[in-house]
Amino acid sequence: MSISRDKEEVRPEPFILKDSLPFHYTEGTLKAIRDIIFKKEGFDLDSYKDKCIQRRISYRIRTSGCKSVEDYIETLRKKEEEVKRLLSALTINVTEFFRNRSTFDKLRDVVLPDIFAMKERERSVRIWSAGCASGEEPYTVAIILKESFPEELKRFNISITATDVDEEIINKAAAGVFTSDKLTGLDPPLRAKFFQESGDGYRLSDDIKRMVSFKRQDIFHEGLNGENDLIICRNLLIYFSKEKQEWVQNKFWKNLNPGGFLLLGRAEILVGESRKFFLTVCPRERVYRKPF
């Protein structure tokens, strides 16, 4: 069964970030919010761009009914559930199955065949989806493997690890239930084959769910997942400063096996020293490779 599409569909991001009523932030109020998030959730906001943080905090201020940043800080101190809602707003990553179809075509046609050829002796392949959000990306990789590489699935020990900093969204991803808008990139035969409609959405088949393991992980912590053959991190680094982007990309390089691949998002590029470490395989699809 083919999983390619002749024409890629491009849809706008449905995330609200515009401020109809701007709030005033000071160094002190931003530090107070950072401290609360770090103390209660262990999440360090220092890596994120200030404008990105402020837009998303402003959204939560309006939604929670607070009148000022100071009022919202008091709400965060008193209400644990609002801290979790803010963390979800700060780390949200808009995604869907087969998002940017041509990238996954490149993964199927070039990257995965090369990895299998490279690992023929070891018969072991490790894939890491970093910043996986609600799981559509790693599950898409699993579907590609199931459809296009059935023999390799039998011969190789293939592991797909998906990580995100938001524990709530990780649990949601592991449950494997999705709304219809997340499935718009799927061809109808694939939807019928791997999803079953239920009262709470579309439930992914157990065969695909078993192929992916999820765990909570902050991408800026040490001790990342080493010895990978493929790292996919799309549309996450754009929220970070150039310095932090370079730090993460250098960590990816260290966590890739020689000959391993890195896939970034369409709006992301290699920055700083990391440009010297990777070979460019496909600039349009942001596919890079660690030299042997």
Q: What is the pLDDT of residues 219-265, one digit of tens each?
A: 887 666 779 999 999 988 887 888 989 999 999 999 999 999 999 99
pLDDT for position 19: 46
At residue 62, the 3 state secondary structure works out as helix
- Set out the domains of the chain in order of their start, with CATH numbers: 27-91 (1.10.155), 101-289 (3.40.50.150)
Q: What value does the mean pLDDT take over residues 201-220?
A: 94
The candidate with the shortest Cα–Cα distance to 129, out of 285, 290, 264, is 264
pLDDT of residue 172: 94
User: Which of 10-19, 135-144, 185-194, 269-278 is predicted least confidently?
Assistant: 10-19
pLDDT at 18: 47
What would the DSSP string read from start to end of the chain? -----SS------------SS-----HHHHHHHHHHHHHHH---GGGB-HHHHHHHHHHHHHHHT-SSHHHHHHHHHH-HHHHHHHHHHHH-----TTSSHHHHHHIIIIIHHHHHHHTTTT-EEEEEEES-TTSHHHHHHHHHHHHH-HHHHHHSEEEEEEEES-HHHHHHHHHTEE-GGGGTTS-HHHHHHHEEEETTEEEEPHHHHTTEEEEE--TTSSS---SEEEEEE-SSGGGB-HHHHHHHHHHHHHTEEEEEEEEE-TT----TTHHHH-EEEETTTTEEE---
Contacts of residue 81, defined as CB under 8 A and 6 or more positions apart, other chains included, come to none
Q: What is the pLDDT of residues 16-58, one digit of tens each?
A: 444 445 788 998 999 999 899 888 877 777 767 777 788 889 9
